[in-house]
Structure 1
Amino acid sequence: MPQQHRIILLFLILLNLCSSGIIAKEKIPSKKEITVLAKAACKYMKEDKFEKSLVTSRIALRYAIAIKDDNLIATIYNTIGANFDEMSEFDKAFFYYNKGLVYANKTNNYQLRNWLYNNLGNIYCFDKKQYEKGIFCYKKSLEYSTKIKDISQIVFTNLNIAWAYFDIGRFDEGYAYLQFINKHHKKYGDESTIVALNMLNGMYYGHKMDTGKANLFFENAIRIGRKGQEKSDLSFSHLEYSKFLLKNGQYQKAYENLANYNAITAELNNEEKLKKANVAGINLELDQYKREIDTIENKYQTNQQILIERQYKNKQISVIIIASLLLVIILFYFFFQNTRLKQNNKLKDIQSKIQENIINASINGQETERKKIASFLHDNISALLSSAGLHLTVFTSQNQSPPQEIVKTKSLLKEAHDKVRDLSHELMPTLLARFGLFYALEDLCEKNSNSAIDFKYSSALTIKTRYNEDFEMKIYFIITELLNNITKHSQASKGTVIVQETNKSLQIEIIDNGKGFDTDKFELLEGFGLNQIQARINNLQGTFTINSKLDSGTLVSILVPVVH
């Protein structure tokens, strides 16, 4: 055990012995000495030494209660609450902030009331999602910071109120507070809130559909946030910006900002897990202190009881207690390990599912946009170009010698019409839409064949077999991606696509005679898009396996339930 822990343990033992009347009553420190202890606890908390801060706070609180100093009691409760707040133990933090507020209300310390109400407002808004209560606390905080004329704290509290209102879509109610921050932040604000201020302005102008200003403020928030240390504000900026971009139809940029938000949030969650792991370690260590204190007290009491009890009886009691304690510790250890293992497995499953859902959402969005764009090109642009070409054809037929410009224009319109048609077919193949999956796959193999590689299509199913349109589209693009991988990476000369239907499931095998790869390094092949293909097949509730060896080709097997 570290030396400082032994000193704390000895001090706590002395306190317990004093309180039980075993040794002489201790001398209560002066108010000045207790204040020094309270400040030390606050300093330890700011240095992330939560264990030392909590132990020191507990000692200071005991003395503060002994001298009945409401101001000191409230201050120490605020420090204890802040420790738990930093450790993300929000229920405990909420409890101690409320206890501190009870004592603070008995004093004239408006600054302390301001801190406590602001801390409670944060928990109500960001943890409990009880915005009305949170806004009430923030306004009480604003009332007390106004009484002490702390303009920096006033600016900070106005920012919290504006954020709370904007978070629940009540922009008109929050705008007055945003105006106050914009007016005074430059002089009285600080760098830690500049990202949040830009984000709030972006949210407001986005709500007012002022796209130019909204983009400017959101991009400022992200640019400044990347240079700073406050990751949470940066993550919220990416999230709110993605919502604004999505509402304005900028899907690619919205997706990029959402991806940034997810990445930063994952980092924050990892930091949170580490912090919680440290908290668990602190709690276990404090329990160890308590057990050691109890053991010392039990030994002391046993020595006193030797005078009045027989030695044999005492030994029996000691053996039973020790055996029971060991049994409890062993059972608790196994229970704790089992619980932690289950939680870790559950967390991994959830993370994997979330990642898969994100990939599928992105893919579904892309496929939907493919259909929309292809339909628009075919039904609108292509039709307009055809109509324009038809008018020019009529004009040229009525004029024996039409101007050269008309002839060239007619030629350009035909070329544009052909390119639009080809692009439409590339986005959503006509054969797939009109004749079904098997016509499209046969055509796909033919199109991908060239002098370097020959693709063959084989199936015992009738080529006129049709399935659900969405199902066919997903299968088509999965096979397209796999054929592209073969063409780009395999160095194969032959490839085969085999399709069968077995037990209401579609069985697809894609074989090539290329260079193959080591399947033990499957996780390193993200460049092949296999993760996205796996996510697509999982979304179809199918299975996806790869069998490959170096210089021996590759076999990809897919089995998915048929959707008619």
Structure 2
Amino acid sequence: MSHSRIFLFLFISFNMFGNVPIAKTPIPSRKAILKLTALAADNLSESKFEQSLANSRLALHYAINGNDDCLIAESYNTIAANYEELSEVDKAIYYYKKGLVYANKTTNDTIKNALNNNLGNMYCFEKNDFDVGINYYKKALEYSTNIANAGRVYITNMNITWAYFYKGSFDKGEPYLDFINKHQKTDGDETTIVAANMLNGMFFTNKLKFDKAELFFKKAIELGKQDIDKSDLSYAYEEYAKLLMKKGDYKRAYENLALYNSITKTLRDSNKLKRANIVGVNLELDEYKRKVDTIENEKNLQFVSLQKSIVIVVLFIIAMIVVLLLLYSVYKNYSFKKKKNAELIIANEELLLAKEKAEEASYLKSQFVSTISHELRTPLYGVVGITNMLLDEHKELADSPHLNSLKFSARYLLSLVNDVLQINKIEENRIILESLTFNLSDEINLIKNSLSFIAKSHNNHINVIIDPTIPEYLIGDKLRFSQIIINMVSNALKFTNNGEVNINAELVKIENKAHFIEFNIQDNGVGIAAEDQEKIFDKFVQIGRKEIDYQGTGLGLSIVKRLLELFDSTISLKSKIGEGTTFTFTIAFDHDPIKTIELINKIQVDLTSSEIFTVLVVDDNKINQLITKKTIEKNNYKCTVVDSGMDALELLETEKFDIILMDINMPLMNGFETTKRIRQKGIITPVIALTAFDKEEITEEALSAGINDIIIKPFEPILLFKTINQLLYKTDETVIV
């Protein structure tokens, strides 16, 4: 196409690439290659395709050998132009893009402008991909502005206008049309005037200003008749016919459309004739493409071969140096090997001794953790159990905030003790989060009430703000979540006096069933200095001890950080001395009404039974005996309590029981030994271990002794009765897990 969608390949001048380094190969000279590329472009303008391709291929060969990126880009531009004239659109785009790769390696904006403009022509008016084409046009406009070529700036603005109008984006094309109208007299010429008038006609047609549009179309047609190239005239007839159709002047519209078809046919016949004269060229195009690629491949292979030769020489020199160094090193090593061997023998003996001590220390640590865990859980079982007994026996205390806070605090203390004593498990990610149904608002308000005594002691007020869009029931590990909130809020209360602590929960995002809730714990207390803000998440760190005696172990925020890692979350803070601190973290809880109902149904176990079972409790702790007996009898079971394993064996000689609840840590004869002797007597009554030991520590020995299941104290009564029912009714396999 030779109209104002200008085809920029006839732009070469011998001094335009003066800023590009001259090729290293002196023969042929760069000037000779430039003449060859100019000749190829002239051949193309005269439709001498075979000659143009031959000359551009030879120029490309010389340019590649000379590593001249600018001339390589120019040669590819001419090759692509030949393909475009021969209607090989995809091949033309391929070589335009290849030329652009080399052009982008140079600082020459002229060749970059030409290639981007030509690619814009191909995508807009051959591929009808206007978005891609307009992007290329805009790059061409940038380069034509850089080289201060007013003519090319004008042509590129016209191309962009035309593309936008063909796309139907008249508002986007209007600024470019304004530029054309403003610079037509100074930068336009007789090759662009027809298109400029036609574009104005298209614009005013779109604006429904038909009379003004018709004036522009008539002027475009009048000027087009005087031009040798009739392609723009044909487009003017076509667009004018569209205007007349909108006006309802169908006769004149048909006449102009007929003129458009006539000119288009003439141009098409002319192109057919031209292609008929060069029919043999198309047969050689694929072979030509392969030859062009071969030139580049040969050059690359030569370069790679040279690089390999250099590498081989360098490696040989390095190898010789390494051999010499190795010989020297062998000599030196042999001389001091005996000395080091003696030192290593001593070091190994010390390491073995240190290893044994480390293993012994690790064992003692495990024993210490196990003992402390047992000693703490046992009294906590009493606290939790007596609290439940008070609530059961004194219904008037059911709404007592003090008793509820006591129960909640005891349960939390149990969980906290477990986490503190097993912090190594947290760090090794050995804790698995549970999926429980809970009400977020209830949990937070329960925490608020349980911490009210701390708030009152510091004259603080706790505010709870819950986003109403948060679902009523969520699914997640509510106990771990409660630990996080309790640690954060209790910390805020301890470091705030006569102030406020705000607990904010806001739903920030929903992805499938996951509801991401952002929590902010804000206080207006003493604040944290910037240099201390990273330290506070370390274990046993307590900022401010020197000034104020704040109680605590220094583990709270460390545990919070590790618990949040289990939730795939992190914590951040903003603080300023004297103004307070805000901690922020986000946790994703599931909301699944169906799953929630299932979980609730699992909790709601029907423990009623018309049959009365007899239970033997073996425990040496009087408080534990009382609590366990009350729990059993509350479910209408008969309960007998003995103080030791010997008493249990003696009683089993004369009485029969449906279930045996066995303590493990008892004097004289522990629970394992007692159970073994029960089994030796042939008694198959199910035995459930009620123990404060960690389940993982005793599972293997419990199975060996014949114990059917293990329940860790303190425990929920519902878990106990569920386990008893499973064992008695054989509803589930009695396997300790």
TM-score (norm 2): 0.35
Could you say which structure has the higher helix fraction?
A: 1
Query: What TM-score results when the alignment is normalised by the length of structure 1?
Result: 0.45
